[in-house]
Amino acid sequence: MPISTYLRWLRNHVGRDLVLMPGVTGIVTDQEGRVLLVEDISTGWWALPGGAIDPDERPADAIVREMREELGVEVEPTAVLGVLGGPELTVEYGNGDRVQYVTTVFACRVISGELMADGEELAQFRFAAPEEQAEMLVAPWVRHALTVINPGASEAWFDPPASSTVVA
């Protein structure tokens, strides 16, 4: 689904200006530890699967929905690996719409179905090791995410506050 009803409504009010958008991303790994990446049809960029959270939708429900819609699989979110935001997650789409995502990154396990790109948003998918990712046209925000997020970590990652000054 290219644009939700909510985002279409919001765009009617703000035009192409920057919109702060809650999102979800799923990290699925194979037995060799390679990460599932998807190729966006509209940009040709490789990214992690995921998307925007709809109004009244919980983040875990959003990643389950996105994986079903885009890849035809049912997943189980097993952990929150991190929360990403800031300038690295600013995206300008081909039509000029600007979005900055605040994304909850989930570790996900495929529980049923067979991976298949939807052909609407995604052209293809593949599992890629870091050395393979270096040769791919990977979206800048994904390079950032794969640099800071450790799929095997026991605690969620987040950017530390920009200021180390604590106000009492």
**Mean pLDDT, contiguous 10-residue spans, the chain (168 residues):** 78 89 96 96 93 95 97 97 92 88 96 95 96 94 90 83 66
Residue 132 lies in a domain: yes
pLDDT of residue 151: 82
> 29 vs 53, 93, 97, CA distance in Å?
23, 28, 31
> 110 vs 30, 87, 120, 131, 151, CA distance in Å?
10, 31, 21, 24, 15
Residue 162 lies in a domain: no
Residue 163 lies in a domain: no
7-26 pLDDT, tens digit per residue, is 888 888 888 989 999 999 99
Residue 141 lies in a domain: yes
CATH of the domain at 70: 3.90.79.10
pLDDT of residue 61: 98
The parent domain of residue 135 ranges over 5-151
Residue 160 lies in a domain: no
0.85 cut: is pTM over it? yes
Which residue, among 108, 86, 116, 112, has the nearest Cα to 24 in the 3D structure?
108
